[in-house]
Chains A and B, each alone.
Chain A
């Protein structure tokens, strides 16, 4: 059974700082890994998708990496802004005949002006 863990659970940084959010998963036989952003009381917004054959994906100030063999992914946010404050969730799309997403509990990010 796939299990996804996110560390830290919460992170508070000053504006402008670069930061890294961590995600680990127990079953490396994944199809892909997806990072989402969730604002309080809102839905999930997809940020980046990394297929199992890829090592990283970039979108603007965001860069996500994937190391399947070690069961780890990181989301790097450059030059953080107060508008980046949200909960960040990672989710693994498990392999085989199983295509569901297994989510971590998320990292609550606060960027202070």
Chain B
């Protein structure tokens, strides 16, 4: 079946612009996670949802970052007023439940100029 998909795969934006990154989880997966990965590092947790409820957003760096999953399926990570330090690979994962295998999407490479 189809895996986790993310769009866009690459996003180049200018400093100060808002960006929205989309994640489409595996069908039927109730848990959805967002991570950010810098070069040479493992992914770092940003936030996660169980169904439509955002249960932990402790990893979001500041209030410019927000995420939603209004219908318990597709999720959007929004970064407002982007800064160069926001440049990274943003990865989404989904899971059948909170303690099962997390399956990762291909990621969105964000570059802020």
Residue positions of A touching B, CB distance < 8 A: 4, 31-32, 34, 36, 42-46, 49, 51, 89, 91, 93, 98-106
Contacts and interface: CB of A to CB of B under 8 A. Distances in A.
B107 A104 contact: no
Contact of B33 (A36, A100, A105, A106): A100
**What size tier do the contact residues of chain B reach?**
20 to 34
The winner among A31, A34, A43 for most chain B CB atoms within 10 A is A43
What are the 8 tightest A-B residue pairs by CB atom distance, in nearest-first order? Answer: A103-B42, A100-B45, A44-B104, A99-B98, A31-B99, A43-B106, A49-B101, A89-B42
Q: Is the interface of A mostly helix, strand, loop or mixed?
A: strand
B101 A99 contact: no
B25 interface: no
B44 interface: yes
A29 B75 CA distance: 29
Given A51-B99, A99-B99, A44 B43 contact: yes
Nearest to A102: B45
Nearest to A47: B101
Given A43-B107, A98-B56, A99-B56, A104 B101 contact: no
Given A34-B102, A43-B107, A99-B48, A105 B41 contact: yes
Nearest to A43: B106
Given A43-B105, A101-B43, 14 more contacts: A31-B98, A31-B99, A44-B43, A46-B101, A51-B99, A91-B43, A98-B56, A99-B56, A100-B45, A100-B48, A101-B93, A101-B102, A105-B40, A105-B42
A32 B95 CA distance: 13
B33 A104 contact: no
B105 to A, nearest CB: 7
Contact of B91 (A4, A44, A49, A106): A44
Contacts of A31: 98-99
